[in-house]
Amino acid sequence: MASTVLIRDVLKQSRARQQPVISFEFFPPKSEDGERAFFDEVLPQLVALKPHFCSVTYGAGGSTRDKTLAIVERIQRQHGLPAMAHLTCVGSSVAQLRQIVQQAEQKGILNILALRGDPPMGTGGFAPMPDGFRHAWQLVRLLREMGDFSIGVAGFPEGHPECPGGKRADWDFLIQKIRAGADLVITQLFFDNADFWEFWEYLTQHGVQVPVIPGILPILGLQQVLKLTRLCQARIPSSLQRRLEELAGDEEGSIEFGIEYATRQCEELLRNGVPALHFYTLNRVRSTRQILTNLRLI
């Protein structure tokens, strides 16, 4: 088996060369046809853009457990692209999490995004298993104990919506995850860079040195943004909402606008020194490719 490249090393090498790292996020397709289309059409086109790494989500409630690992393993094997498996605490005891981590290691998967996770829609709030973890930092600690993994965690520039103490209290919990052993942070999507800068400044002032990677959503249209922000509670700036409402029903215009919006967002982030960009590709090619072309990163 080829040795697995650790994403923390990819980030370190690119930082030394002052090159931004580009990563793509995928979700496991639901059907066999979807999976075929993903591997035969979508993935080769996205790999051709030469991202430095990618990540594969873990379905709500742990619903894609086996698929996530299988897809990560196949991407690494077929394309030699370092890939990170998302892993959540939902619906798994600590013993089961240990087993999944062992399976991952056997498949040569050493890059893991350690998450608490969300339960499936409509099943109420997060409830830990009686013998499971309540928070992501516990999963980070388990991974650190179990092997030499490169561990990512989620960060929330607007604060995590459930945190009763507000965004700074949530950012302190993020710092706890980093102290438990995380070596990179990937953020929730956000539409106003001012939110990211405030978050970044807070972390920097509190001694965080691991790379903090902004998560970028290429907007496809009003309905998509409303649906995603209902789930993750990210704020839609009023000027953005107005523009998307004007474009409602104009699919082409909305996609072009989304490309332009993300390009401007990324330009400003890169100008001010972010080490990397993480694209929520939604298993689509066009917008991500055009944004990277606009940024002259391909």
Residue 92 binds ligand FAD, judged by CB under 6 A: no
Please pick, from the candidates 8, 65, 116, 289, the single residue that binds ligand FAD as defined by CB under 6 A: 116
In whole angstroms, the minimum distance from the beta carbon of 63 to ligand FAD comes to 9
With beta carbons less than 8 A apart as the criterion, state whether 257 and 219 touch. Answer: yes
Q: Which residue has the tokens 């950012």?
A: 171
User: Which residues fall within 8 angstroms of residue 293, CB to CB, at 6 or more apart?
Assistant: none
Residue 34: strand, helix, or coil:
helix
Active-site annotation holds for 25: yes
Please pick, from the candidates 188, 254, 263, 281, the single residue that binds ligand FAD as defined by CB under 6 A: 188
Stretch that binds ligand FAD, among 39-47, 131-139, 235-243, 253-261 (CB under 6 A): 131-139
d(CA 253, CA 243): 11
Cα-Cα end-to-end distance for the chain: 30
In whole angstroms, the minimum distance from the beta carbon of 182 to ligand FAD comes to 10
d(CA 129, CA 260): 44
Residue 202 binds ligand FAD, judged by CB under 6 A: no
Nearer to ligand FAD, 137 or 191 (CB): 137
User: Which residues fall within 8 angstroms of residue 270, CB to CB, at 6 or more apart?
Assistant: 20, 277, 295
In whole angstroms, the minimum distance from the beta carbon of 151 to ligand FAD comes to 11
With beta carbons less than 8 A apart as the criterion, state whether 55 and 68 touch. Answer: no
Please pick, from the candidates 7, 10, 72, 186, the single residue that binds ligand FAD as defined by CB under 6 A: 186
In whole angstroms, the minimum distance from the beta carbon of 168 to ligand FAD comes to 10
Site for ligand FAD in 52-81 (CB under 6 A): 57-58, 60
Site for ligand FAD in 14-53 (CB under 6 A): none
Residue 247 φ then ψ, to 5°: -90, 0
Residue 86 binds ligand FAD, judged by CB under 6 A: yes
Instruction: Point out which residues pair with 150 in neighbouring strands.
Output: 111
Among residues 25, 105, 201, 245, the one annotated as catalytic is: 25
The residues carrying an active-site annotation are 25
